[in-house]
Amino acid sequence: MADSTAHPTFSSAAIKVDIGRASIFAVVLAVVLFGLLTAGSVYAALDTQETMVTVIGLFFAAFFGLMLLMSLLVLPKAFQPRGFVFDADGIHHWQGTM
């Protein structure tokens, strides 16, 4: 059941687990990985004389470029604090200010 209070209060025995840094690490890793794959695909497409290799390279460059763009779009959301709180009432997920 969802908690309808704007700023919930938890007991002093509640355990808070902050997972905000894990999402930042995942987005940074995705940006670096998709950036390298996009650059490699563009290089493979432009460094050949065969038309089919150019087409395949540009396809993969567009695909990985789209993934890179999607990773960059979620960047602001990745810097929001988020986590879980475990207390006597159950497990609660929070995002933003707590």
Indicate whether 37 belongs to any domain.
Answer: yes
Asked if the structure places residue 88 within a domain, the reply is no
* Rounded Cα distance, 13 and 78, in Å: 28
Name the domain count of the chain.
1
Q: Which tokens go with 12?
A: 């002093």
Asked whether residue 34 is assigned to any structural domain, the reply reads: yes
Q: What is the pLDDT of residues 15-63, one digit of tens each?
A: 888 887 777 888 889 999 999 999 999 999 999 999 999 999 999 999 9
Which tens digits make up the pLDDT trace of 55-94? 999 999 999 999 999 989 988 887 888 888 888 888 888 7
Q: What's the distance, Cα to Cα, between the start and end of the chain in Å?
A: 19
**pLDDT score for 88:** 81
Rounded distance between C-alpha atoms, residue 9 and residue 61, angstroms: 48
Q: Do the domain assignments include residue 45?
A: yes
